[in-house]
Amino acid sequence: MNSGLINQEFIQHANALIEAGKFFHDRGWVPATSGNLSAALHDGLAITVSGRHKGRLTREDIMLTDVTGRSMDGKKCSAETLLHVYIYKNYRENRSVLHTHSPSATAISLLSGTEVALEGYELLKALSGIDTHATRVVIPVIANDQDIVRLAQSVDARLDKDSRGFLIKGHGLYTWGKTVEDAVRHVEALEAMFEIQLRLMALKRP
């Protein structure tokens, strides 16, 4: 393998993740040191180091793992790296996984039972492969679990080939895309629709 090409690929993806972290932080979607962001490389992952503030990321805050999520540079990855590995394994066409902890995503995960159904929104067309508002997208809500292997098994039981993302109850959103740019767009669209759903829920209260 050509280490120069690997390094260049890593740097390109690290820079994209840094920009995504700043974008999310500016919108209040990754408060404190929450969230984790990754991009698939041809032989591993570029992923944020555990416990780093996403609004102040540098290249030192992006680490390299192998395809199983094992650190290749001595840095410490989030335990949730295993969820990223699961998504890349099962959705091979997607090359970026982004996880946010926004107030809207967290609140709707606590208020919505086992799923959030999004339908009729023009913004649904921001999700790859959707070309009409006359679409229903279901975002599963999965119980939180500190046992990440067990949590990944719960995710596996709820997702299918058409899944666009999932919420962990009281925790936040996971979504993905074919590029970091695609995944960022998916986060932005889903976060907007979650906020609208919450407003509608408030208006419907007696």
- Domain boundary assignment for the chain: 3-204
Name the nearest CA neighbour of 35 among 15, 16, 14, 57. Answer: 57
Question: How many Å apart are CA 78 and CA 139, to the nearest integer?
Answer: 23
pLDDT band at 91 (very low <50, low <70, confident <90, very high): confident
Convert the pLDDT of each residue in 4-54 to its tens digit. Answer: 445 899 999 999 999 999 999 999 999 999 999 999 998 899 999 999 999
Q: Which residues are annotated as a binding site?
A: 99, 101
Phi, psi of 150, rounded to the nearest 5 degrees: -65, -40
Q: Which residues are annotated as a binding site for Zn(2+)?
A: 99, 101
**Which single residue is written with the structure tokens 């041809």?**
42
pLDDT at 162: 86
Average pLDDT of the residues in 180-205: 95
Fold classification of 3-204 (topology level): L-fuculose-1-phosphate Aldolase (3.40.225)
pTM over 0.85, yes/no: yes
